[in-house]
Structures are given as C-alpha cells and as structure tokens.
C-alpha cells in the first residue's frame, strides 16, 4: 500500500490570509519551464509542502507523498532523455471518487473508509500514462451528494477565496469542493472532478476558477464510484480554460470498459481553443433572465452580457419553458439511481462493517445507518420510494419523459443560437450551515446546473464577476451535444474580454 498522509486533523492551524496567491503557474506555463533539471521533483515538494501548510483547508482527504515523489523523479528522468509525455511532471489532484490502485478511495464516506482498490479508473489511468503526478485525493460531499462539502464524513473543505477575505466560514461548493479549493489555493496545477448535477461548475464558481463538464460519454465512467449513472461525468477544474483543455486531451476518449462511452476519436481540445471567432450568437433563456433573486445575480447577468458583446458575440433571448421542471426531474432521477447504486454497500463485500449486528439483516441495517451521512440516507429513502411499486410510473417514469422533453428543447434552441449562457449558481459562496435547517433550499442552489446534466451537454463555468462581498461568481457557457471544443473556445474569448 502506498504511504498516505491525512490532512483533516482538527489541530491544524489556520492558513494565512494570502492563501489565494495570484500569478500562479498554469499548465501552459508549466510546460514552458519543465525542461529545467529536477523541476518535477522540486514542484511536487512545493505542492506537498503547501498542502501541509494549508491543511485546514481540508482540500485533501489523503496525500500520497512517496508515490508522488517517485513519479516526479521518473518524469525528471524522462525529460532529461527527451521522452516528454503530454502532462509530464504536472501536479494534479484527484477527487476521491475515482478508484486509484493501491490508494484508499472513500467517496467522502465512512462506509468506504479503508477501501483500497486493486485497479485504476480509466480516467486516472489515462492521466498517469500521460505523465501527470497525482499528489492526493480531494475531499467531497459523500458520494457526490451535496453542494458545499458539508456532507463529507471527513469534515468540510474551506474556500480559499473566503480565507483571503479573513472568513473561515465560506463553503467551497460541492460536491467537488476539495478539488476546487486545491486549485484555487495553488496546491496543484489542476484537479479531476465529477459532475452529476453541477458538482464541477458550482464549486468552480464559488472558488473563482474554471470548471469544465464535457458531453456525457466523452470521458469514461469506469472506475468512478457511482452516484447516478445516467448523469455522472468526469471533468476538470483548472485555473484557466487553456489548462482545462490540456487535461481534457489527456483523459478523454472511448473506453470499451464503459458501455456509455462514446465511440470515435476524442475531440482535439487544446488545438481547437481558437476555433470560434467573432460573430457567434449566445442564447439566454427568458425563464432565467427574468429571475430577480438578488442584486449580485442581476449584476452578474450584466457583466456576462457585456463580456459576450466585447468578445464579438451577440446575445439573444430565447424561450425554454420546460426548463422550469428540470429541478424536480433531476432529483427524482438522481435519487432513484442513487438508491440502486448504493444498495451494494452492505458491510459484507468491502468497506465499513458494523460490529453491532447479530444477524445478517441487523448487519445490513447497522452498517448502513452508521456508515452513511444524513443527506445520503435522505436521498436513498426518497429514491427507493420513487422506484417502489405503485409510484414508479407516477414519479420515475414521468421524470424520464420530462427529461426527454428538456433534451428536445435544448436541441430546438440550438437551431437558433450557437451557445447558451446563464449563471453557474444563483449566489456567491454561502456560509456553512446556511441551508442546514431546510435541505430543499440547498437543492435550489442547483437550479442553474442540473438541466445540462439531464441533457448530457457540455458546459464550462468561468469567473467573470466579483460579488459585493468580495467573493467570485461564475457564468456558464453551454454547447450542443459534442460541441465541447466550441464551448471552451468561446469561453476563452469571453474570459479575455472580461479582463480575467
């Protein structure tokens, strides 16, 4: 087993207020300096030291220093011999729901604590084969169920942008809050994450970084701990659109181990970053534009539309009436699939086993009651109800029909415009406990992200605005199915036009 170091100790000191340094290297800049002798080992040591110094961020559940240093030494030798791979020596963090060979994988849950896979997920395998150095597994809401990392069994991650303002109570978003925090705090060059209903884009918005979710099936799901199989998709959190494209080139592609993996060659992400020129059209749904939730959201809309225009685009209002039903549709489907996927955690095959059961039924009951967090139990119970006899047609089957209508509505709108755009979240990052008394209010935080997962479309969240309280807010660029490269290209133009 590879040596690991836990980073969520309760006695850890609060990091300094300058935790979010500006001007940090991105992957493109890293490649320009990576030929210097010993630079890979030097960079890994710096990132591991930063992760330890900023350990109260709780961005990582574990780090893997021995494994990372060995990989860095190999990369230094390959660079010396002129055998550079696509991501040679680049320091990457990995969300803890990607199975990693001989490294504990928990999905943020006590029920999987101690689970050491003997296989590597396809996405992380692709990452390693391209020369990346993985320094650890990042924190997350249990099984991806949450929008703040408060549902992690290992404690919440903190938001580096909040800490830079002297606030230790600001959530980094979720469920990929640890990955977003690690990138924003410069503990790595980029991070892998997953997005079921916004779990890449919302934390990217909260932490002021870039979060890209590709078309469903562009990245393999094999070896990812499942939450909702028809919605889960691997993606990237990075400091720039260019960095996201570089990582996507390494991890995307068909995988025969995954029946939902798309066949054919993967898109050329980095090579297509300048493929969209001026003259593109961006649609904004009236149903979203007319929402007056708060003054920050109104200002974000204005900043976004100004940036699109400055980038050479044209903004048009479009009608998407079915999108108002996306939130309940998503939660019925996601909870139902979670109920099925999480049935395997019974204390018999792997992970945590309760010592309290005196019969097989009691073993199941005690293990699941003790091993799952409250929010996970809530979603399993709700999903089981939606799939139960007498309710399947009324809830799950009807939700699938609405899902199809939402997909058709997206397809129709893309006959009028090239891209769609709306905020990644209705608010800047909220404080821990803000939604504790009302779980439904937390679900409403996903109002702008979940329809894209239902339709399986590509989307990227980019930071374009700073709220009145000093915290960032991101906007999403959404493309048609398999329009991934165009999404990143236009996002790059808009970010430059916004001065970011």
Q: Which of 175, 205, 220, 461 is catalytic?
A: 175
Instruction: Assess whether 176 carries a catalytic annotation.
Output: no
Q: How far is the C-alpha of 96 from the C-alpha of 182, rounded, in Å?
A: 13
Q: Which of 54, 75, 95, 451 is catalytic?
A: 95
CB within 8 Å of 500: residues ≥ 6 apart: 462, 463, 464
| Strand spans (E) along 13-90 | 60-63
Q: Are 383 and 336 in contact (CB under 8 A)?
A: yes
Rounded to the nearest 10 degrees, how much is the dihedral formed by the CA atoms of 368, 371, 375, 376? -60
Nearest 5°: the CA angle 57, 62, 67 is 130
Residue 95 annotated in active site: yes
Residue 136 CA to chain centroid, in angstroms?
Answer: 16
Which residues lie across from 419 on neighbouring strands?
282
Number of Cβ within 10 Å of residue 36's Cβ equals 10
54 is annotated as an active-site residue: no
Q: Please name which of 276, 289, 302, 283 lies closest in space to residue 419, comparing C-alpha atoms.
A: 283
Of 199, 255, 266, 267, nearest to 227 (Cα)? 199
Q: Which two tokens stand for residue 145?
A: 């169920």
The whole-angstrom separation of Cα 66 and Cα 447 is: 42
- Asked whether the beta carbons of 14 and 62 are under 8 A apart, the reply is no
- Exposure string for 320-341, b = 16+ CB within 10 A, e = fewer: bebbebbbebbbbbbbbbbbeb
- The C-alpha atoms of residue 133 and residue 129 are separated, in whole angstroms, by 10
Catalytic residue among 121, 199, 461, 498: 199
- Ranges of beta strands (E only) in 275-349 are 281-285, 314-318
Residues belonging to the active site: 95, 175, 199
């Amino acid at each position: 087993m590879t040596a690991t170091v836990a980073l969520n100790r309760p006695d850890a000191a609060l990091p300094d207020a300058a935790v979010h340094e500006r001007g940090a290297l991105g992957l493109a800049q890293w490649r320009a300096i990576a030929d210097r002798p010993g630079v890979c080992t030097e960079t890994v040591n710096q990132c591991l030291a930063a992760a330890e110094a900023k350990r109260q961020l709780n961005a990582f559940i574990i780090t893997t220093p021995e494994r990372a240093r060995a990989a860095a030494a190999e990369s230094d030798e390959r660079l010396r011999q002129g055998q550079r791979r696509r991501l040679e020596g680049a320091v990457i963090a990995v969300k803890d729901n990607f199975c990693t060979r001989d490294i504990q994988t928990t999905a943020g849950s006590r029920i999987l604590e101690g689970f050491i896979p003997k296989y590597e997920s396809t996405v992380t395998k692709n990452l390693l084969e391209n020369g990346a150095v993985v320094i650890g597994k990042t924190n997350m809401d249990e099984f991806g169920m949450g929008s703040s990392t408060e549902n992690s069994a290992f404690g919440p991650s903190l938001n580096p942008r909040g800490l830079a303002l002297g606030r230790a109570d600001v959530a980094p978003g979720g469920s990929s809050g640890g990955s977003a925090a690690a990138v924003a705090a410069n503990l790595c060059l980029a991070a892998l994450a997953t997005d079921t209903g916004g779990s890449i884009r919302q934390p990217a918005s909260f932490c002021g970084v870039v979060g890209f979710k590709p078309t469903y099936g562009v990245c393999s799901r094999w070896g990812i701990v499942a939450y909702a199989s028809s919605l889960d998709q691997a993606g990237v959190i990075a400091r720039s659109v260019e960095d996201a494209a570089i990582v996507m080139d390494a991890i995307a592609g068909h995988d025969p181990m995954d029946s939902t993996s798309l066949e054919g060659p993967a898109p050329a992400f980095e090579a297509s970053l300048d493929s969209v020129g001026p003259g593109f059209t961006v649609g904004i749904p009236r149903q979203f534009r007319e929402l007056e939730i708060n003054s920050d959201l109104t200002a974000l809309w204005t900043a976004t539309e100004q940036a699109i225009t400055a980038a050479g685009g044209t903004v048009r209002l479009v009608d998407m009436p079915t999108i108002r039903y996306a939130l309940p549709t998503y939660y019925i489907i996601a909870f139902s699939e979670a109920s099925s996927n999480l049935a395997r955690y019974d204390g018999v095959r792997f992970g945590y086993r309760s010592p309290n059961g005196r019969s097989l039924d009691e073993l199941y009951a005690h293990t699941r009651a003790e091993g799952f967090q409250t929010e996970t139990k809530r979603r399993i119970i709700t999903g089981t109800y939606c799939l139960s006899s007498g309710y399947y047609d009324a809830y799950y089957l009807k939700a699938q029909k609405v899902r199809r209508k939402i997909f058709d509505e997206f397809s129709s709108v893309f006959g009028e415009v090239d891209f769609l755009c709306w905020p990644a979240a209705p608010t800047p990052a909220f404080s821990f406990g803000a939604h504790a008394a009302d779980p439904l209010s937390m679900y409403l935080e996903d109002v702008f992200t979940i329809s894209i997962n239902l339709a399986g479309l590509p989307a990227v969240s980019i930071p374009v605005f700073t709220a009145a309280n000093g915290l960032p807010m991101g906007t999403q660029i959404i493309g048609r199915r398999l329009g991934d490269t165009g999404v990143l290209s236009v996002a790059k133009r808009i970010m430059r036009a916004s001065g970011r």
